[in-house]
Structure 1
Amino acid sequence: MSAGVDLSEFFDTFFDEADELLTNMEQQLLNLDLDQPDPDVLNGIFRAAHSIKGGAGTFGCFEELAKTTHLLENLLDLIRHGEMPLRQDMIDLFLETKDVLTEQVAAYRGSEKPDQQVYERICAQLRQLALEQQQGGAAGAPAPAPAAPAAAPQAAPAAAAVPAGDLPIRIRISRIQDKDVEPLVNEMALMGEILHRDHSGGDLSLWLQTTTPADDLEAVCCFIVNADQVSVTREAVPGAAPAAAAPAPAPAPASAAAPAPVAAPAPAPAAEHAPAPDAAEPAGTRDAGESADKSGGANGVKAHKPKESGTIRVGVEKVDQIINLVGELVITQAMLLQTSQTLDPVLHDRLLNGIEQLERNARDLQEAVMSIRMMPMDYVFSRFPRVVRENATKLGKRIRLVTKGQATELDKSLIERIIDPLTHLVRNSLDHGLETPDVRIAQGKDPEGTLILSAQHNGGQIIIDVIDDGAGLNRERILKKAIASGFPVSEATPDDELWQLIFAPGFSTAEKVTDISGRGVGMDVVRRNIQSMGGHVQLSSRKGEGTTTRIVLPLTLAILDGMSVRVGEETFILPLSHVTESMQATEDQIHRISETEQVLHVRGEYLPIVALHEVFNVGQAETDLTRAIAVILQAEDQRFALMVDHLIGQHQVVVKNLETNYRKVPGISAATILGDGSVALIVDVFALRRTTSLRAGAAA
């Protein structure tokens, strides 16, 4: 890396890593036990803050982020070393700081400056907490070492009079350019306490008191200078009194051996990134690691190169491009396969075997590429512990959150779109489902309610459940509201049908509107959002025992297992996940209930009949229902019979967005390209289900 390299190309990587670290920090803060905080958790929180501070300081243009994390790191360091007792208000402040840091990262990502008022407010709160600790602990604990030694050279021996194994680290940069001196000093100041500085003869030497491993120090230096310019050893500060039992340090270069009286051991410019501790901020910040440098022997010379990372960051747009190309490959393979079916298998044996091998490889490649887009549900579930914690406090409830199946994977495009519907369902359970402790005790329940979020795979789908052990849905109140709103329901309406009314626009039985839920504008949006992802939502409840909301989604929207059917001269694709069976109906199975409506009697169940040629106005289609094929489809809680002319077969299809490439077509969710190059439309099963519901309502 050259000395003048533009670091802006690494910004996105830093922002992504900062977001991950902040997410982990929030989870660990929420998991802290106030009485007996886990040292590993405390160290993990500290490391997250330190990593963000170090990265922000390395780039030198994220000042607010570096300073905020520096203040946070100081406090975390005191807590993890037992010098400050942990309190609930501290965790609340640290969580608020995490939110501010998230906003700062988002602002920098958008090439904007963070909100200055928010930044100053949170820093003032962190400094005030540090000041309270400093004033309260001064009598009972020795004052920490100052952040920088006094200007006089005599201060150096006091800083360096330590056991031999704790000699400070000397970072020597040879052939350093003048313009790189201060940026490098600034970065090292973020890594620990600079005890001594010597810049002469084109070389820069810094003596650093730090717990940061030598490999990390060298890596930071290499952002500014080349690796062959850097050497890291353990040596006493020039002019310091050696420890009694200290082994002789390695000979220092001539430029460093001269005891030049440097008046400023810690350079002032470092304050740009690491503000000097004041009365409101504990001095002597401990830095990056959990232990002293482990990289070498007596002189701390590193023994090996750091292990290469096992991951690589790739932009989503690049993955999408690969998926599109693989989709085109699958389409081309399907075309070759269809053409090859006309060839003589004896004369073209090798060609047909090659096409068969291509088909297998294309499917394996498609599955491998699709797996890149898959993300664990923990990405979604990890944001709810804080939602539950804050809302439970606001509502005066005791709620325990249980998550299951966090490792279950879902397509990235779906996992981001499912966050809002899940958040609404969780808030509903917190606000309306789970009772207050006194109510639960009066009902013989545990005063602490339980909210379960679970995810599991089922074939080509993922099932997400939101389960609470609260009061359950109030049938009487829902029925009364439904009748008053003009819904065709009665006392005989089954519970499962009645619960579905909750998803009707504007339907709410909440006795009062809160800032958490209950406005009657959410559940219909929840269902529409889930349906737009090719999924459906189911609701079940028992009074006094709780409510379960189940979301069923396809694993991905990029590929689809489908059944191709023919209607007239047109080919349509039915999502295979909605197909339960197919059959040819007999006359005694078909019953007319009105001039326009007919039902199909299948094993004691009467299913509405939908003729696909009527829905899309397809000519030359089979109109005799006894000669057509009935495909039984399941959409949400309803089954119906879709009449088509012929079944062609089952195969995977590459989903193409019809609205982007053409326009929105009612009743059609997407399109695909068949092996012969023709376009086939993918049927929106939910739209057909709504059509049957509207017809049933009109007939009633």
Structure 2
Amino acid sequence: MSMDLQRFHATFFEESREGLDAMEAGLLSLEEGNRDPETINSVFRAAHSIKGGAATFGFESIAGLTHVLETLLDELRAGKRAVEAAAVDAMLGSVDVLRALLREAEHGQAADPAAVQAVLGRLNAVLSGQAAAAPAATAKKEEEPEAWHIGFTPAPSLFMSGNDPLRIIRELEHLGPLQIAARLERLPGFEQIDPMEAYLAWDLGLIGKVPRSKIEDTFAWVVDDCELEIRPMAVPAPPPSLAVEDAAPATPVVAAAPAAAAAGAAPAANSAAHEAETSIRVSVDKVDALINLVGELVITQAMLKAVSGGLDAAHAESLAAGLDLLERNTRDLQEAVIGVRMLPVDAVFRRFPRLVRDLSTRLGKQVRLRTLGEGTELDKGLIEKIADPLVHLVRNSIDHGLELPEARSAAGKDETGTITLAASHQGGHIVIEVSDDGRGLNREKILAKAAERGISVPDNPTDSQVWDLIFAPGFSTADAVTDLSGRGVGMDVVRRNIQALGGEVQVESSAGHGTRTLIRLPLTLAILDGMTVSVAGETLILPLAYVLEALQPQAVDIRTMAGEGRVLRVRGEYLPILSLSEYYGYAGQRSEDPLVVVVEGDGQKIALEVDELVGQQQVVVKNIENNYRRIAGISGATILGDGRVALIVDIGGLVRSLRALPQAA
């Protein structure tokens, strides 16, 4: 019976990418001096799993490269060679090439054949360098066994993974004459037999000078679902079950479980089975569909609540109680469903140790990476889209933010610079920080470059206004263009990408002490808590996470300043006033006694003038760009309980528009 293996490809690619991430983390740990055997074992297991899957699905280039890589790792974990910089560097290079080969297999993006051959050459060079000490002796030792004893004890759950011990035994028969003896000690009474569990174990005698790797490849697909022992033995005259007693002592092998661990194999298997039962892989599309349905439920609940307001008191009281319960349950359901999409931001952070290592080596700088708050959770959609902006910021910090060791030493600093990646929750946002302890931004240089490019700058600009100039398209203060980055080059793209996610970017810098970039993002792209306001007969939604307070302004607290427009005094602080009616061009009737809502975005407070505060409610965010086009000052839309569409205000966009007004005056 033939089996269509293509339906398993997606799982293989996803698990292989996870394996490569684990390999990279382990190799970087080895390079830093960690010699924990479990670190080498974890790297080996990842390579072994990728090789087994690639061989099964016929991805020969991936299987061939991982086979060489696995050989080197096996020598490292067996203690046959020391962990050296050349070996770690070659293995890190193989991780990059394997990623390219995975893309080729999954998407048809051809990998560079020269890069594949180059990394194979580096791995083989490392291997041959070790073997040069005693090549003849090693070869002779490998040719000594004329037969192998194989102890094969399947886990009880082996059948559930689609594997069959008889198929494996038949594969071994292709390698040479095979003697077989079954072990029946685990076989229960007939009434207790579960046909879905594997009870039999096997002692196998394989006759012939067969390479150990061939045997290991046969068991590659079940190595995690069995206890396996492979050891040389003399050519047996009696059946293997008798010859085992006279066999040579067991030697370390790639796929064998150590004898000392055999007693603990059952608990480990039970633990793995428990883990498999409590987690499943679910397509992101299915989760998104579920979130959309919950969003529609939120809208329906708001609609029912709006309708109930028009009923008589006798009927409305019981209906209101039911609606309150529905609202609580809907909110709990929404939080639970959104929680499914939440992933720790470590999913992004863990790609940076390699980036920092490679760039610092290339630029001759000493860099220490510090990460904080890796467990902070963020929506999966945001995690996928935030990676590129963070990569650009980190590259900028290393290339132009941090000084060379001698310059840092001359300035009285530690020769090793520090890049900090931190994540935390603040209100309804997640805040991601990228900071360095380098030279900081040069205020005079930025202003000179702005004048050279004809960019309008306010008189006596504040530091924040100067730092904001680096987000102008194509702005750069670099003396020379490099292929890595330029402080400011591409920063407009960073801001645009963050704004597309409903977030904002803020830069802080101190000369000689470093630069700090703060990115504020909503926790999720799906549902938010909003304040509903009325402006000239239209309904708008203010994201509640940005709202500080609402108040009725007094005439004595409002002033008009030349070139700055109106400002409102709030407890001794003057805030610019922005009329939402004027900003959006609404022509409806306005209130004679407008209210103001104080909000904060991009690190600046402003007072938004509105006609009425309608209330607070959860709203489902709908994307406008996909259905119409991008609108300045609007981040999205929602559907109200009465079926009307309300626009969601982009607080950060309003703040930035106010900053631009003095420049245009």
Aligning the two structures, in what range does the TM-score lie when normalised by the shorter sequence? 0.7 to 0.9
User: Is 2:627 aligned against 1:661?
Assistant: yes
Distance 2:536 2:543 in 1: 20
Match of 2:81 among 81, 84, 90: 84
Which stretch of the first structure deviates more once superposed, 329-338 or 510-519? 510-519
| Corresponding residue of 1:498 | 466
Q: Distance in 1 between matches of 2:166 and 2:223?
A: 14
The within-5 A match list for 1:637-652 is 637-652=603-618
Q: Does residue 70 of the first structure (1) align with residue 38 of the second (2)?
A: no
Contact 1:449 1:468 in 2 (8 A): yes
In the alignment, which residue of structure 2 is the partner of 1:50?
A: 48
SS state at 2:515 partner: strand
Q: C-alpha offsets along residues 110-150 of structure 1, whole Å, 9 cap, x if unaligned?
A: 256655444334333322322222222437x755753896x
- 1:685 maps onto 2:642 in alignment: no
Paired with 2:144 and 2:299, the residues of 1 have a C-alpha distance of 67
- Please identify, of 646-655 and 508-517, the stretch whose mean Cα deviation from structure 2 is larger: 508-517
Q: How does 1:161-560 map to 2 (within 5 A)?
A: 168-169=151-152, 196-197=177-178, 207=205, 220=221, 240=236, 248=242, 286-288=253-255, 291-292=258-259, 307-308=273-274, 309=276, 310-344=278-312, 346-347=314-315, 349-487=317-455, 489=457, 492-518=460-486, 520-560=488-528
CA gap of 1:316–1:592, structure 2 versus 1, over 3 A, is: same
Task: Write the letter of the residue equivalent to 2:281.
Answer: R
CA distance in 1, matches of 2:604, 2:496: 16
Output the CA distance in 2 between the equivalents of 1:328 and 1:307: 37
Q: Secondary structure at the match of 1:31?
A: helix
Contact 1:460 1:555 (8 Å CA) reproduced: yes
Once the two structures are superposed, residues 432-481 of structure 1 have per-residue CA deviations (whole angstroms, 9 ceiling, x without a partner) of: 11111111111221111111111111121111111211122223322333
Alpha-carbon deviations, 1:627-658, whole Å to 9, x = none?
11112222213332221110111121110112
Q: SS state of the match for residue 512, structure 1? A: coil
Deviation readout 1:42-84 (Å, 9 max, x if unpaired): 111111101111122233x211111111110000110111112
Give the conservation status (yes or no) of the 8 Å contact 1:195–1:237: no
Say which SS state the counterpart of residue 307 (structure 1) adopts.
helix
Mapped to 1, the partners of 2:32 and 2:605 lie a distance apart of: 53
Cα 1:458/1:238, change in 2 over 3 Å:
same
**Quick one: which of 24, 27, 30 aligns to 1:26?**
24
Q: 1:340 to 1:147 in 2, by over 3 A?
A: farther
Given residue 96 of structure 2, which amino acid in structure 1 is its aligned partner?
D
User: 2:120 is matched by which residue type in structure 1?
Assistant: C
What is aligned with 2:595?
Answer: 629
Q: Does 1:125 align with 2:122?
A: yes
Give the drift of 1:560: 1.2
Which has a greater percent of helix?
2
Equivalent residue of 2:540, what SS? strand
5+ residue gaps, structure 2? 155-163, 181-201, 246-250
Name the CA shift for 1:694/1:468 in 2 (closer, same or farther; >3 Å).
closer
| Residues 256-286 of structure 1 deviation map (CA, whole Å, 9 limit, x = unaligned) | xxxxxxxxxxxxxxxxxxxxxxxxxxxx994
Paired amino acid for 1:390:
D
Counterpart pick for 1:604 among 548, 563, 572:
572
Q: Which amino acid aligns with 1:414?
A: L
CA distance in 2, matches of 1:652, 1:132: 65
CA distance in 2, matches of 1:337, 1:631: 25
1:146 matches 2:142 = yes
1:206 to partner: Cα distance: 6.2
Secondary structure of the 1:658 match is: coil
8 Å Cα contact 1:108/1:114 also seen in 2: no
TM-score using structure 2 length? 0.84
Shift in Å, 1:236? 9.7
Shift of residue 360, structure 1, vs aligned partner: 0.9
Measure, in 2, the Cα distance between the counterparts of 1:550 and 1:595: 29
For 2:638 and 2:95, locate their aligned partners in 1 and report how far apart those are by CA, in whole Å: 45
Summarize the Cα distance change of 1:84–1:367 in structure 2 as closer, same or farther, 3 Å threshold.
same
Counterparts of 2:519 and 2:437 in 1: how far apart (Å)? 18
The Cα shift of 1:680 comes to: 0.9
Seen in structure 2, the aligned counterparts of structure 1 residues 409 and 207 have a Cα distance that, compared at 3 Å, is farther
Distance (Å, rounded) in 1 between the aligned partners of 2:489 and 2:39 = 40
Kept in 1: contact 2:299–2:639 (CA 8 A): yes
Determine the C-alpha separation between the residues in 1 that align with 2:664 and 2:478. Answer: 29
C-alpha distance 477-235 of structure 1, shift in aligned 2 (>3 A): closer
Structure 1, unmatched stretches of 5+, are 150-154, 161-166, 172-179, 252-283
Residue 264 of structure 1 corresponds to none
CA distance in structure 1 between the aligned counterparts of 2:457 and 2:522, rounded to whole angstroms = 32
Q: Please, what TM-score do these two structures have when normalized by structure 1?
A: 0.80
Q: Percent identity?
A: 47
Matching residue of 1:6: 4
Output the aligned Cα RMSD: 4.0
How far 1:571 sits from its partner (Å)? 0.7
